[in-house]
């Protein structure tokens, strides 16, 4: 039986608290986080689907874990302003993790959502990265486009974080699922802080299977949806972003959603 473990560690790697469990674990950490602290999740075997809730003011996320141990670094300073001011505060923190159920894995869902994504090789997916992020600031990081927060009538700190392209016409965002998934729909929500913002009239999605799809976009604060025949992919790249004519040079992406299902073996009760 798969066992999982949650830990809170300090900057030096010393364990502040740990809690093991069988398939499900809940840890209550009674201490104030300090710079350099991190939350670690350990599993017996890489390649597990887990539902994690590393902060009780944030939603749970179903993620695919490819390492025996993954780490979430507690955000401080500039990194913290893309999270609720209530998050990671105080001296009582409820942290949860469990193995995902077969019913959850069988359901059609947004396979891009991961509010716990961070820069670098996190060891869990989905993961967003980009070749440019405006001034390297957290409020314009690629991870903001998959955090599930759709507020887009302003820009800057929470809840108005977005992926900013620093006026680069070659900007590209990569969404990596870490395994093969079956996609059938994309939804794009552009930032709509008009008149500060501009918007894109077209974008191109390149899938890991080599296929491409052009997305015609309009000026809208709402998600723009694009359905297609199901295709198996491990990742996709959003690029060739063509902005509308106008005085503002600031188009940006609030959310990208990738709807579909897991490619699971039929013996697990899921048709791939």
pLDDT higher than threshold 60 for residue 268: no
Question: At which of 106, 135, 158 does a domain end?
Answer: 106
Mean pLDDT calculated for residue range 215-234? 98
Looking at the structure, tell me whether residues 71 and 130 fall in a common domain. no
Looking at the structure, tell me whether residues 27 and 75 fall in a common domain. yes
Burial of 30 (C-beta count, 10 Å sphere; 0-12/13-18/19+): exposed
> So what's the pLDDT on residue 270?
40
On whether residue 271 sits in a domain, the answer given is: no
> So what's the pLDDT on residue 2?
84
- Give the range of the structural domain holding residue 69, as residue numbers without chain letter: 3-106
Of 9, 184, 44, 29, the closest CA to residue 94 belongs to 29
On whether residue 85 sits in a domain, the answer given is: yes
On whether residue 270 sits in a domain, the answer given is: no
As a whole number of angstroms, the distance between CA 125 and CA 110 comes to 13
Q: CA distances (Å), 177 to each of 110, 126, 240, 259, 264, in order?
A: 11, 4, 21, 12, 14
pLDDT tens readout for residues 164-203: 999 999 999 999 999 999 999 999 999 999 999 999 999 9
Burial of 50 (C-beta count, 10 Å sphere; 0-12/13-18/19+): buried
Return all residues near 136 (Cβ < 8 A) that are at least 6 apart.
Answer: none
On whether residue 180 sits in a domain, the answer given is: yes
Are the C-beta atoms of 180 and 232 separated by less than 8 Å? yes
Looking at the structure, tell me whether residues 18 and 141 fall in a common domain. no
Strands of the 93-99 sheet, one edge to the other: 24-29, 93-99, 48-53, 61-65, 124-125
Looking at the structure, tell me whether residues 217 and 120 fall in a common domain. yes
Angle at 4 between CA 100 and CA 68, to 5 degrees: 95
On whether residue 69 sits in a domain, the answer given is: yes
As a whole number of angstroms, the distance between CA 139 and CA 53 comes to 22
Looking at the structure, tell me whether residues 90 and 124 fall in a common domain. no
As a whole number of angstroms, the distance between CA 180 and CA 218 comes to 30
On whether residue 67 sits in a domain, the answer given is: yes
Looking at the structure, tell me whether residues 75 and 153 fall in a common domain. no
Looking at the structure, tell me whether residues 128 and 117 fall in a common domain. yes
Question: At which of 62, 82, 106 does a domain end?
Answer: 106
Question: At which of 106, 127, 157 does a domain end?
Answer: 106
Is residue 73 classed as helix, strand or coil in its secondary structure? strand
Q: What percent of the chain has pLDDT over 70?
A: 97
Indicate the pLDDT class of residue 109, thresholds 50, 70 and 90: very high
As a whole number of angstroms, the distance between CA 165 and CA 189 comes to 15
Looking at the structure, tell me whether residues 54 and 174 fall in a common domain. no
For the chain, what is the total number of helices (H) and then of strands (E)?
Answer: 1, 17
pLDDT tens readout for residues 15-55: 999 999 889 999 999 999 999 999 999 999 999 999 999 99
Looking at the structure, tell me whether residues 123 and 201 fall in a common domain. yes
Are the C-beta atoms of 106 and 270 separated by less than 8 Å? yes
Looking at the structure, tell me whether residues 129 and 224 fall in a common domain. yes
Looking at the structure, tell me whether residues 77 and 124 fall in a common domain. no
Whichever domain contains 131, its CATH number is 2.60.120.260
Are the C-beta atoms of 4 and 25 separated by less than 8 Å? yes
On whether residue 272 sits in a domain, the answer given is: no
Q: What is the total count of domains within the chain?
A: 2
Instruction: Report yes or no on whether pTM surpasses 0.85.
Output: yes
On whether residue 193 sits in a domain, the answer given is: yes
Looking at the structure, tell me whether residues 97 and 172 fall in a common domain. no
* Dihedral sign of CA atoms 173, 177, 183, 186 in order: negative
């Amino acid at each position: 039986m798969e066992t999982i473990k949650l830990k809170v560690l300090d900057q030096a790697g010393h364990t502040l608290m740990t809690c093991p469990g069988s398939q499900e674990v809940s840890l209550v950490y009674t201490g104030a986080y300090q710079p350099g602290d991190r939350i670690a999740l350990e599993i017996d075997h890489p390649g597990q689907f887990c539902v994690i809730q590393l902060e009780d003011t944030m939603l749970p996320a179903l993620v695919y874990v490819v390492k025996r141990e993954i780490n979430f670094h507690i955000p401080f300073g500039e990194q913290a302003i893309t999270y609720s001011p209530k998050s990671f505060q105080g001296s009582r923190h409820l942290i949860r993790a469990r193995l995902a159920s077969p019913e959850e894995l069988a359901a059609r869902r947004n396979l891009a959502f991961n509010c716990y994504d961070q820069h670098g090789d996190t060891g869990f997916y989905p993961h967003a990265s980009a070749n440019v992020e405006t001034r390297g600031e957290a409020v314009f990081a690629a991870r903001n486009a998959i955090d599930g927060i759709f507020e887009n009538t302003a820009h800057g700190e929470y809840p108005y974080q977005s992926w900013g392209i620093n006026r680069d016409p070659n900007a590209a965002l990569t969404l990596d699922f870490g395994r093969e998934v079956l996609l059938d729909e994309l939804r794009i929500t552009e930032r709509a802080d008009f008149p500060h913002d501009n918007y894109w009239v077209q974008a191109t999605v390149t899938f890991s299977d080599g296929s491409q799809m052009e997305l015609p976009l309009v000026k809208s604060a709402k998600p723009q949806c694009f359905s297609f025949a199901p295709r198996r992919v491990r990742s996709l790249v959003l690029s060739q972003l063509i902005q509308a004519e106008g005085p503002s040079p600031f188009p940006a992406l609030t959310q990208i959603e990738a709807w579909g299902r897991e490619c699971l073996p039929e013996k697990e009760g899921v048709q791939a």
